Structure 1
Amino acid sequence: MKVRIAAVQYLLRSISNWEDFENQVRFMLKAAAEYKPNFVMLPEIFTSQLLSFLDTENNIRAAIRSMHDYTPRYLDLMAELAKKYNIYLIGGSHPNLRNSLLYNTSFMFSPKGDLFSQDKIHRTRWEKDKWDTSAGDKLHLFQTDYGAVSILICYDIEFPELSRQVCEAGADIIFVPSSTDDRQGFLRVRYCSHARAIENQVYVAMTSTVGNLPVEGLGMHYGCASILTPSDFPFSRDGIAAEGEINMEQIVIADVDLNILAQNRINGTTIPLYDKRREIYQNPVDIVSAHC
């Protein structure tokens, strides 16, 4: 089965109200839908654009929490667009409050508008110290009409154990909505995404916020989208199905083949998903003194 993925490089720019945000989202989703994708992905915390018109000068923690007030409108908008364009929509991620705790959550919407979610499991220092977020504690594998998919938000892709868990559970595609402020941060996510694609024989799609906001910690953004494959003969030469231009507002699109992926996991030049020696991983590391 061939699956078309569209990853949106969302340009953060100052806006004056919710309507400005909604208009930009509608424009980008309409543009993506023209390519008839099965999945569309927006970046991590792209809804931070709403902070443009919220009070962030005096208390950034309070400002982030006030974004929760827009959660119902955000969810309604994403569900509407998923149904309108008959897509699975990974709606980036959005800060939201549950039991007075702030989570960074990626919401996925089905073509029928059904809602699914995945909390970010590993928080960056900024999220812990400046935003005072809480960590998610559960991984999900979503069985869709176009394969089994999981969502690992930005920093989570840098922890190989998470990707291995969802791939051993059957993931065909891992989606990585991301937001990074500099080249080093972007490359950490980008390189780890490709490593996960190779070591788990899985497709990985990532995307980033680009642009800037007049908000503490969100002033500058650096990144681009890419759709990555295992590194073997059936796939593109460099294991890159498609890749965007750095820091440009655009949509990156590629077709991936789930049948080829399944065959490669069995008949590939190497088969790292199945070659893992599980018994070895139960043994403690043998620490040996080699001092002179």
Structure 2
Amino acid sequence: MVHILQAERFYECDYYTPSQDGFHVFETPFGKIGIVICFDRHIPESIRTCALRGANLVIIPTANITDEPLEMFLWEIRAQAMQNQVAIAMCNRVGKESGVTFTGQSVVVDPYGNVISKADDREQLIIADIDLAQSAAARKLRPFLELRRPEWYA
């Protein structure tokens, strides 16, 4: 993780240290795959950085709990997929630990922001076909990344 949250019920500084080398995108036989871990997904630059490095898919292992606004997380993932034209697979744990209930609700979203597959709150395996070539097609249709003007961003 690049960003570490220290807040009520989220004592990540007790367990993690921030990454010293940022976000990574890996070349695989299937395409370029980026990794964004848990809380990092809330920082728009996280998924954006993976997309700018050519990721066709960003995988997000996470641990959402039932006290958090789950609908907002789904919209957050859908919007970031569409804005960065990258497929996103967010896998979330389920069950209880130390008085915390994890929500499940893992989701796979295409580069247009459409939900391809979504789990419920039970332990399960979801399988989804992801066409990684869709990222290039989406970027050609709406070249959001090419049109960026970072010199104007604070």
- 1:276 aligned partner: 148
Count of aligned pairs: 150
Identity of aligned residues (%): 26
Counterpart amino acid of 1:244?
A: A
Measure the CA separation in 1 of the matches of 2:48 and 2:134.
20
Within 5 Å, give how 1:9-20 maps onto structure 2. Answer: none
- 1:241 aligned partner: 116
Confirm or deny: 8 A CA contact 1:183 1:222 kept in the other structure. no
Counterpart amino acid of 2:27?
A: Q
Cα separation, partners in 2 of 1:156 and 1:189, compared to 1, 3 Å: farther
Q: Which one scores higher on RCO, CA 8 angstroms, separation ≥ 6?
A: 1
Measure the CA separation in 1 of the matches of 2:84 and 2:34.
13
Deviation at 1:186?
3.9
Q: TM-score, normalised by structure 2?
A: 0.86
Q: TM-score, normalised by structure 1?
A: 0.47
Name the SS for the 1:248 alignment partner.
coil
Measure the CA separation in 1 of the matches of 2:3 and 2:94.
22
Confirm or deny: 8 A CA contact 2:56 2:133 kept in the other structure. no
Measure the CA separation in 1 of the matches of 2:84 and 2:62.
20
Confirm or deny: 8 A CA contact 1:202 1:230 kept in the other structure. yes
Confirm or deny: 8 A CA contact 2:104 2:123 kept in the other structure. no
Cα separation, partners in 2 of 1:248 and 1:140, compared to 1, 3 Å: same
Measure the CA separation in 2 of the matches of 1:198 and 1:263.
12
Q: Please, which of 121, 141, 146 is the counterpart of residue 2 of structure 2?
A: 121
Indicate the structure (1 or 2) with the bigger Cα radius of gyration: 1
- 2:104 aligned partner: 223
Q: Deviations over 1:147-199 (max 9, x none)?
A: 11111111101111121112111111000001022252544543322222011
Q: Which runs of 5+ in 2 are unaligned?
A: none
- 2:46 aligned partner: 162
Output the aligned Cα RMSD: 2.0
Question: Hey, which of these two has a bigger chunk of helix by percent?
Answer: 1
Task: Please say if 1:133 is aligned against 2:16.
Answer: yes
Q: Please, which of 122, 136, 140 is the counterpart of residue 262 of structure 1?
A: 136
Confirm or deny: 8 A CA contact 1:186 1:223 kept in the other structure. no
Cα separation, partners in 2 of 1:265 and 1:225, compared to 1, 3 Å: same
